Amino acid sequence: MDPLNLAPPYASRGIARFELGDKKGAITDFNQALRINPNLAPAYTGWGVAHYTLGDKQGAIADLQKAPDLNLEPDFSRHLENLTSISLS
């Protein structure tokens, strides 16, 4: 099994935790996904949104800006629509 295949499940769990209100748990999962695959756009997006909602606006915006430069897996698109619907201004 390719170790990079282990990253998306962490990103998925991070999204689920975020949607359930566990932002710190979500960040933990996004961090693990990014340790495995530093090019996983959903993890950067989720990490950025979770940090933004916890008050780290500058760090969040920096990571949200990285995500579009990476390949976004179609499976995560609908989940990320919910995460990125917050205002970043």
Q: What confidence tens digit (pLDDT) does each residue in 4-49 have?
A: 788 999 999 999 999 999 999 999 999 999 999 988 878 888 888 8
**pTM for the whole structure:** 0.72
Is residue 88 in some structural domain? no
pLDDT of residue 47: 85
pLDDT of residue 76: 47
Q: How far is CA 5 from CA 8, 13, 56, in A?
A: 6, 14, 29
Is residue 9 in some structural domain? yes
Q: How many domains does the chain have?
A: 1
Is residue 89 in some structural domain? no
Q: Whole-angstrom Cα distance, residue 56 to residue 66?
A: 16
